[in-house]
Structure 1
Amino acid sequence: MKSILGLLTIALIISVTFLGCNKLTESYIKGYEDDPLLPSSAPAVKIFAGAQAAFIEFYEAFPSQLAAVWAQQATGADRQFASFDVYNITANDFSNDWFLAYTRVLTNLKIAQAKAQEEGLLNIYGAAKILEGIHMGTVAALWGDVPYSEAAQPEKTLTPKYDNQIDVYNAAIAAIDEGIQVLTQNPASLAQDLYSTGGSTAKWIKAGYSAKARYLMHLARKDNYPAAVLDQVIQAALNGITSTTRTGTPPAAGYGADDLVFTHGSTYQGNMNLWYSFLVQDRSGYLRALKCFAVKMLGARGTAESGRFNYYFTADSNDLRTTGTAAYAVNAYFPVIRASETLLLLAEAYARKNDLTNAVNYLNLAKTYNNNIFGTTLRNNYTTADFATQQDLLQEIFNEMYLSLMHQVEVFNFLRRIDYQIQYRDATGQVVRLTPKRGDQFPQRLFYPQSEVSTNPNIPWIQTASDLYTKTRVNGGNK
C-alpha cells in the first residue's frame, strides 16, 4: 500500500491537468476534488480517466503532428515546424512528450490498475492493461529501446534501465493479452470512459486485438514477415475492429461503429480537438498543407477521393480544414484505431502469404469503410485479375493504408516498416514516389529527450544528429 500511495501522490499531482498546466474539463476531474491532500480517496475510475486524458495529449498532439509532417501529409510552414519539415530537430524537442509518456500516462495506468484491483473493479483493470499495451507499443515504435520493466516505479528507481525494443513490444502485447482475458471474464461496462468505447468492454477487447495485430505486424518486419507471425496477425485482426458501419450522420464524416477514437467538446484548454487548438488558437500558420504529397496523391486519384480530400484539406490545397464538420473542427474526433487499418493489416498479411483472394477481399472492405465514413466513391469490387503481381497488390494496400492513417502517429511507424514505399500516378501516367524532403534519407526514430540524457545514466548510447536516420531494431536496425 505504501508504494501505491507513493505512486498515486506523484501521479495525481501531475494528472489533474490535460494540457500542461491547463485544467481538464469538470467531467474529466470530478472526484479528485474530494480531498486533494488525501490521494487514496481518488477512486480507480477517476485515476483511469486521468490516464486516458494524458494519453489523449500524448497521442493526439506533437507526436501525431510530427508524424504528419514527416509522412508529408502536412507541411511544417513556420518557426520550429519549418525546421522539422526538413528534419532539423533536437533532443530538447521531445522532453515534454517523454514526460507525458512515462510520468503521466504509464504511471497513472499502473496506479489505476492497482486501485482497480483493491476495489474489485477488474473491468477497469482490464481496460487499463489494454491501454497500457497500446501506449507502450507506440512508445517502443517511436524511440526503439526504452524503459518499461523498471519504468513508473519511483519507489524502486528514478533511473530505470532500457529494455530491448523487441522485448518491449512483446511485453506490450502481453499486457494487451492480459487485458483481453480479464475483460472477457469481467464484461460489465466501465462506469466512466472518455473514449468512443463508451465503457463497453466488448469494444475495448476489439481495440486490444487490433492493437495486437498492429504490433505483431511491426515485429514481423524484423524477420521478413514469416508466415507464422502473419498467421498471428490474421488471428488477432479477425477479432479486432473491422466494422464498416458508420456512426453519426452526414455531412459529418463520423467514424466506424467499433473504432477507437477520442471524442471532443469545444472548451479551449479543456476538451477541444488538440489539432484545432494548435492550428487556430495556439500556433496558427505553423502547420499547413501547402500541396504536400498526400494532397497531390488524393488529387491524382480524382473525384472518387473528393470526400476524404474535403474532410482533411481546404479547397486550395494549402491548409488543413478546421471548420464545420472537418477533421480538425473544434469538436472533431481523433482516431487511434480505425477499422480500415485492421482490414488493411488483414489484406497485407494475406497478400504476403500469397493468398491473394482473401487479400483483395479485405482491401475491398477497407475501401467500403472509407466510402461509408468519408463519402468517397472508391472502387470496392477488385478481383485478383486487377493485379498483375503480388507486389502490385501490396502496393495498392500500402497506398490505401497511407491515406487511411492520415495524420496519426501510426503513419510514421507504418512508413518506416515498409521503407516509405508509397507512390501514385500523376495525370500523365508518371509514377510519383514519396521522397525525402532533404538529402536521401527519411527519419527513422525520435531522439531520446535531453531531460533523459541528462538524468538517466542507463541511456543506451550517446546520441548524434545522424541517429535520426538509424533504423530501430524492429525495422532492421541494431539499436
Structure 2
Amino acid sequence: MKRIYKPVVAVLVSLHLLSCEKIVDDLNVDPNNPTDAPANFVFTGTQIANVAVQEGQASRLSLIWTGYGTGIFQQYGTWYTYSITASNFDDDWNNVFTGTNKNAIIAIEKAEALGNRKMAGITKIVQVNSLGTATELWGDIPYEEAGLVDNPIFENQQELYPKLIARLDEAIADLESGVGTVGAEDIHFSGDAIKWIEVANTLKARYYMDIKQYDAAYAAAEKGISAYANSLYAPHGTTPNVNQNHTYSLLTDVRAGSITAEGAYNAELLNPSSAMYRGNPKTDETARFKYYYLENGVNAPGVIEPNTLTTASARGFFAMDADFPMVTYQENILTLAEAALRSGKGFDIALGHLNTYRNFLDMGGYIDPTYQNSATLNYEPYVAEDFAVGGIENTDGISPEDALLREILQERYVTFYGQHIGWNDERRTRSEAYGVKLQPNNGDRLPSRFIYSQNELNSNNNSPNPTPSLFDPIYIYQ
C-alpha cells in the first residue's frame, strides 16, 4: 500500500543509504521495497491510484453495459453478455482499498503531522472520490475500518453517504483554512485550493443526486465547478505503459478490437444517419459523434468503434494522450438543470441551466478542437414552446416538465460517455417513466452492480453473506 510511487521512493531511499556514516547501516533494508515515504510522494501515489479506479472497470464495464459501446470478443465479448465472475473484480477492489484508501490514510496522517491542512484536504477529496465510486458500483462497502483492520465491517449506504459528504465538508474546511502548501506533487491542479473546493462541492452534488436529495444537490452544485478549466481530469501522455489514456491502451493494444460501437445506444443517438438520431432543427450532433466514434474503425475495420485517433488533425475522446474526465463542469451544470426541475425550482430555472450547457457546447465545449473545426455542431437555446405538446422536444404529447426532464437526462447520458456516472444515472432512473431506457445485452435483466471481489470474499469474514449477484440492485438505486 505504500509503494504506489515505488520507483521515485526507491531512489530517495538509495540516496539516504549512500549518505550513511557506516556502510553497514540498514544492511537488511531493500531499497526496491521501501516501507515508508515522505508525505508528498504518498500523496501523489494516492492520486495516481484514484485515476486507476476511475478509468478501470468503472469506466470499461460502464462502456459496454450502458450502451456506450459493444463487447465483441475476448474478455469484453464475454462480459458484454454479463458472464463475469468475482475474481474479475479483484484488481479494481484492490485499487480502491489498497491503492487509494490505504495510501490516503497514510498521506493524511503525514500531512496533519506536518500541519499541512491543504494536503490533508486534497487527499480527503481524492479518498472520497474513490470510495464514493466504490459504493456506487458495489453497494455496501467498508469505510471507517477500511485500511485499519484486517476484517473491516461493511457499512450500509444509508449510513455511508452522510459520512462521505461529511468527509468532503472536512476537506473544504481544511482548504479554506489556507494552512499548508502543495505544488507540483498535485498532478491535477498543482495545489489550487479554489479548484479543489469546487470539485468537492460537485462531488457532494453527485452523492446527493445518488440518494435523490435534489434540493441539497442543487445547493452543492451552486458552489461546484464553475468553469470548464476547473474540471478534474486525469492527465495523460504518450509514453506506453506509463501515462497513456487507459482506454486507449485497452482498445489499441491490450484488447484491440474487442469493443466496438455497432448498434450501441449512444452511438445511435448521436449518429446523424441513424433513425434514433437525437438531433433536431436546433441541434447538430455531427461533431460530437465524430469525436466519440469512428464510422470505419482502425482497430475494428468496417464498423463503428470508439475513437482512439491521435493525430494533429483528429484527436478522439480516447486519444493516446487524452485526459480523462473525473469530476467536471459538464456534470455540475447538468446537475443544476436536473436538480432544479426535480426540487421544484421551476421549469424556467431548469431550462436556463440546460441552455447554459447548450451554449457551452455551441462554443465547442469539451469536444476536441480538431472536431470543432472539421465537423458541424449546433446547439441553439431551447424555449418553453419546444417542450410544449407538439414542440420539437415533445412530439409524443407528454407534459412539458416531463419532456424537459427527458431531454436533460438524455443530455447527461450522452455527455457522460465512457464514465461510470452514466451508469449511475441509468440505474437511478431505471424505474421512472422517462429517461434513458436500455435493453439487456443478454437475457431479460440489466446488471445492477459489480460483484464483490473474490479475494475480499475469501479473506474478510465480514463480507456480505449471501453474496449479492450482478442483478441484485444496490440500495440507493432500488
What is the TM-score normalised by the length of structure 1? 0.84
Q: Quick one: structure 1 residues 195 and 408, their matched pair in 2 at CA, closer, same or farther if it must change by over 3 Å?
A: farther
Correspondence for 2:442 among 438, 457, 461: 438
**Matched residue type, 1:332:** A
C-alpha distance in structure 2 between counterparts of 1:365 and 1:187, whole Å: 35
Distance in 1 between residues matched to 2:407 and 2:187, nearest whole Å: 31
The Cα of 1:265 is off from its aligned counterpart by: 1.2
Asked if residue 356 in structure 1 is aligned to residue 347 in structure 2, the reply is yes
Does structure 2 retain, via aligned residues, the 8 Å contact 1:73–1:406? yes
Alignment check: 8 A CA contact 1:357 1:383 kept? no
Q: Cα distance 1:314–1:434, how it changes in 2: closer, same or farther (>3 A)?
A: same
For 1:470 and 1:366, how far apart are their aligned partners in 2?
35
SS in 2 for 1:92: helix
What's the counterpart of residue 427 of structure 1?
none
Measure how far apart 1:121 and its partner are.
1.6
1:16 aligned partner, one-letter code: Y
Give yes or no for the alignment of 1:461 onto 2:465: yes
User: What is the CA distance between 1:190 and its match in structure 2?
Assistant: 1.9
Aligned equivalents of 1:208, 1:240: Cα separation in 2: 7
Q: Write the deviation string for residues 247-283 of structure 1: whole angstroms up to 9, x where unpaired.
A: xxxxxxxxx2111101111111111111111111211
Aligned residue for 1:88, secondary structure, equals coil
Question: Are 1:176 and 1:212, in contact at CA under 8 Å, matched by a contact in 2?
Answer: yes
Letter in 2 for 1:279: L
2-side partners of 1:33 and 1:110: how far apart?
25
State the SS of the aligned residue for 1:343.
helix
The residue that corresponds to 1:55 in the other structure is 50
Q: 1:12 to 1:403 in 2, by over 3 A?
A: same
- Given the alignment, which residue of 305, 312, 316 partners 2:285? 305
Contact conserved, 2:108 with 2:124, CA < 8 A, in 1?
yes
Q: Indicate if the aligned counterparts of 2:430 and 2:437 stay in contact, CA closer than 8 A.
A: no
**CA distance 1:422–1:411, shift in 2 (3 Å):** farther
2: CA distance, partners of 1:361 / 1:30: 54
Residues 1:32 and 1:264: Cα distance change in structure 2 (over 3 Å): farther
Aligned to 1:473: 475
How many Å separate the matches in 1 of 2:55 and 2:98?
Answer: 17
Q: Helix, strand or coil: the match of 1:42?
A: coil
Does 1:16 find its partner at 2:5? yes
**1:278 and 2:250 correspond:** yes
- CA–CA separation in structure 1 for the residues paired with 2:13 and 2:77: 40
CA distance in 2, matches of 1:38, 1:118: 24
- Relative to structure 1, is the Cα distance of residues 142 and 41 closer, same or farther in structure 2, using a 3 angstrom cutoff? closer
Q: Which amino acid aligns with 1:405?
A: F
- Bigger drift between 143-152 and 371-380 goes to 371-380
Q: CA offset at residue 463 of structure 1?
A: 2.5
The 3 A distance-change label for structure 1 pair 301 and 37 is closer
Q: Matches of 2:409 and 2:11 in 1, distance apart?
A: 44
1:258-407 pair list within 5 angstroms = 258-299=230-271, 300-302=277-279, 304-316=284-296, 318-323=304-309, 324=311, 325-354=315-344, 355-371=346-362, 372-373=364-365, 374=367, 375=372, 377-388=377-388, 389-407=400-418
Kept after mapping to 2: 8 A contact 1:137/1:168 = no
Measured after TM superposition, the shift of residue 37 of structure 1 is 7.6
In structure 1, C-alpha distance between the alignment counterparts of 2:379 and 2:240, rounded to whole Å: 40
Q: Distance in 1 between matches of 2:266 and 2:335?
A: 20
Q: Distance in 1 between matches of 2:179 and 2:295?
A: 46
Q: Distance in 1 between matches of 2:413 and 2:294?
A: 19
> Match for residue 226 of structure 2?
242
The answer to whether the 8 Å contact 1:123/1:183 transfers is: yes
In the alignment, is residue 200 of structure 1 matched against residue 184 of structure 2?
no
- Percent identical across equivalent pairs? 31
AA matched with 2:5: V
C-alpha distance in structure 1 between counterparts of 2:439 and 2:386, whole Å: 27
Q: Provide the residue aligned with 2:209 in structure 1.
A: 217
> Does residue 82 of the first structure (1) align with residue 77 of the second (2)?
yes
Q: Using the alignment, how far apart are the partners of 1:177 and 1:349 within structure 2?
A: 20
| Corresponding residue number in structure 2 for 1:8 | none
Give the corresponding residue for 1:112.
107
Change over 3 Å in CA distance of 1:398–1:170 after alignment to 2: same
Preserved contact between residue 207 and residue 241 of structure 1 (Cα < 8 Å): yes
Q: 1:96 aligns with which of 85, 91, 100?
A: 91
Take 2:179 and 2:337, find their aligned partners in 1: how far apart are those partners? 30
Give the Cα separation in 2 of the matches to 1:452 and 1:193: 31
What is residue 170 of structure 2 aligned with on the other side? 178
AA paired with 1:219? I
Superposed CA offset, 1:345-378 (max 9, x none): 1111111134111100111112222332224634
Shift of 1:403: 0.7
How many Å separate the matches in 1 of 2:377 and 2:433?
Answer: 21
Secondary structure of the corresponding residue to residue 169 of structure 1:
helix
How far off is 1:419 after superposition?
A: 0.7
Q: Is the 8 A contact 2:292 2:306 kept in 1?
A: yes
Q: Give secondary structure in 1 for the equivalent of 2:263.
A: coil
Where 1:257 maps in the other structure, the secondary structure is helix
| 8 Å CA contact 1:217, 1:233 repeated in 2 | yes
1:298·1:305 contact (CA, 8 Å) conserved in 2?
A: yes
State which structure, 1 or 2, has the greater radius of gyration over its C-alpha atoms.
2
Equivalent position of 1:247 in the other structure: none
User: Unaligned regions of 5+ residues in structure 2, if any?
Assistant: 17-30, 272-276, 297-302, 389-399
User: Which residue type is aligned with residue 233 of structure 1?
Assistant: A
Q: CA deviation at 1:146?
A: 0.6
**Alignment-derived partner of residue 250 in structure 1:** none
Mind listing any 5+ residue stretches in structure 1 that lack a counterpart? 1-10, 18-22, 221-228, 244-255, 425-431
Aligned to 2:394: none
- Counterpart secondary structure, 2:470: helix
SS in 2 for 1:469: coil
Q: Secondary structure at the match of 1:261?
A: strand
Residues 134 and 176, structure 1, Cα contact 8 Å, conserved in 2: no
Deviations 1:404-449 (A, max 9, x none): 111012111121111187989xxxxxxx952111222211100011
Distance 1:32 1:322 in 2: 39
Match of 1:230 among 211, 214, 218: 214
Task: Pick closer, same or farther for the CA change 1:30–1:238 going to 2, 3 Å.
Answer: farther
